[in-house]
Structure 1
């Protein structure tokens, strides 16, 4: 690769120490090698705020990165991944204009601010139900991810899509299978087989559900998607299935990590937790600071569409690029005292939900779930504490950022 970085500086996301705390490495990369070639992931790693923002807005990069990957697979792998790639290529996240423009225009009719506001009572109801269950555990040690942060957004999304709540275990298993491929797991040996299986089962379920809802219409978010039109254009059945998979997968994973990271950060920063308890109105700023300081999206993935040079590095067409959102969000060139977790921070233009045409459609919903969940959790359990005997277990992933397990004690 063209250009020369620091000889002793290597970004290896499979290193458990980097999984747990990547930020010291990010700081070195920003200062010493802001466009870094990582041999371990065979990709460019871009870490400075201005570069990340500009690349997310640039025509030099494309989100349509699966076609090249798929065509390079050997025949057996290609056959295994065929359905998975078909549906992923229909996601907004993997489409460039004009296809992206058309899809987003249609989908925005279902993702309006009033629609999100109408979801709030359901978010509150689910939150209280899960906290009631936790309260029966007394002072027990619990995994806050499995028993709260995962279930809350999953139930919200399942309700939106008319999926019965008793199917949670099925959908969690299917989503986990897909996540090892989409999230960039580094240590999974069977990720193609698992991802193909998860996609096959989830797509079959949603295809049947869309057909049923067409036969038996009823007011719902899913019905809004089915009926959404822009100048007479609507989603095809394959696009509807793909969008349901995207909403369920992305909608619950990101918010699970947001809630888990928020709980962990507030417990590790008792002064900030005390500030929030003294003034519950600070919950808005608290969630924004969590999104900046250690947000649920570690990186966004792009493919170089046009050769260009950045900081002396020659990025070639077809190269893969990880734009490191969580590094950008701690860049001292953009944020004052970026290593300080401060829920009263006012200048907080983080990049967690992306930029430009790919700005996350579900950002409003994620924020609302995060605010409701975190505030209610600490109100219900004022003695909540991290388990001193068992540390958090971080996800093995390049793209999402969160804990797989977060052991806590509910009461002292």
Structure 2
């Protein structure tokens, strides 16, 4: 069923927006949802928010919680003696695990972020610039010899894997298996809204998550014995007033960085390549002036963000313009719809890095603003300025193939001829 066929029924529109078959272009459905206004499904304690103003307000609101156990549904399950079902499949990997601080609220979140942010100092990110440039140049050398490349497998994916492995201290020989497992893990953050049944590839994702946790556990033990110049060693060593991260906290943090950094970087770079190759003037302009890269990155984050939605819980009644979210309701904050809100951005359906103001929430906002935002921006800027300068006559070699992911929407294949 297409968006037009679903008419104005908001339940059908929501189903279409979340359907894997709609990944190629979900924006017509997002527009209809946004024009409908806040969508409340009281039978499942769910509120879907699609305007930029509502998305921004929820992410800023002090009662907007990330702890899933604060939801009405979770509290009902706890009262019945059941294990609360997580928002996404990620929680099914190991229900006994320590949650990443993405799913925690203050004071627990404050404590963990304060410790982890020390290992993400600007000097650490800046020190990676030369290495990122070298990786990109090597990948483009290969592309030039072949006369073509895939924007995912030939550039964005190997770059993101190389950087995250370097950051975490993963040995080079483990990169292929590590990269495969991290890609599967990125699929576990999609909303698990079906009342029954499990999505295709469910068990493979669960096993990948378990393998990664086991891998990180072994790597942490190695770094305790022999510290290196990497993030895991830094997380082991970091301390604040006698407080340190536990092993489970380090593992959960690494998993979070994988999902937020690896998948988002691949999607951002590939999407930017696609939209610029569809608009040759933008490709040419960046190739001639690498200083445009920052604007291209920000406009891509607005126009077609890697993170299409975020989940939050109303820890108390949240009063927003034109709607009140009842305490305990789960909120789906549909960022991709909000970014195309004409009240926030003029000509929202146009890709225009030269627009005067680029308003987006691509890295979240407030307490949970993405820790790795600076690294993602750096990787994307280097890759995009290099590929456009090296291959001024590049063109699409075929149409993009999209992953089924809803939350972290991205392309799995994009052939480019040079």
Aligned: 1:44 with 2:47: yes
Aligned residue number for residue 411 of structure 2: 403
Q: Structure 2 matches for 1:1-150, cutoff 5 A?
A: 7-9=8-10, 10-11=13-14, 12-15=16-19, 18-31=22-35, 33-37=36-40, 43-65=46-68, 68=74, 84-87=94-97, 89-138=98-147, 140=148, 142-150=149-157
For the residues of structure 1 that align with 2:384 and 2:43, how far apart are their CA atoms?
36
**2:3 paired residue number:** none
* Aligned equivalent of 1:162, options 161, 166, 169: 169
Q: What stretches of structure 1 of length at least 5 have no aligned partner?
A: 1-5
- Deviation at residue 63 of structure 1 after TM alignment: 1.0
Structure 2 residue aligned with 1:153, among 155, 160, 163? 160
- 1:369, distance to aligned residue in structure 2 (A): 0.2
Distance 1:54 1:353 in 2: 15
Q: SS of 2:136's equivalent?
A: helix
SS where residue 275 of structure 2 aligns?
Answer: helix
Alignment of 1:10-409 (within 5 A): 10-11=13-14, 12-15=16-19, 18-31=22-35, 33-37=36-40, 43-65=46-68, 68=74, 84-87=94-97, 89-138=98-147, 140=148, 142-184=149-191, 189-190=199-200, 192-308=202-318, 310=320, 315-387=325-397, 390-409=398-417
Indicate conservation of the 8 Å contact 1:84/1:195, yes or no: no
In structure 2, what is the Cα distance between the partners aligned to 1:56 and 1:242?
A: 22
CA distance in 1, matches of 2:61, 2:201: 31
Task: List runs of 5+ in structure 2 lacking aligned partners.
Answer: 1-6
Cα 1:82–1:293 change in 2 (3 A) is closer
Task: Sort the Cα spacing of 1:81 and 1:195 in 2 relative to 1 into closer, same or farther, 3 A.
Answer: farther
Q: Say if 1:185 and 1:398, in contact at 8 Å, map to a contact too.
A: no
CA deviation map 1:214-269 (0-9, x unaligned): 11122322222211122221111111111122222321111000101110111111
Q: Kindly indicate whether the alpha-carbon contact (under 8 Å) linking 1:306 and 1:316 is maintained by their aligned counterparts in 2.
A: yes
Separation in 2, partners of 1:333, 1:258: 24
Cα offset for 1:207? 0.8
CA RMSD for the aligned pairs? 2.9
1:367 deviates by 0.1
Matched residue SS, 1:408: strand
Q: How many angstroms does 1:13 deviate by?
A: 2.6
Q: Deviations over 1:8-36 (max 9, x none)?
A: 342223446631112222222222x2212
How far the C-alpha of 1:406 sits from its partner, in A, is 1.4
Moved more, 66-75 or 310-319: 66-75
Give the paired residue count: 398
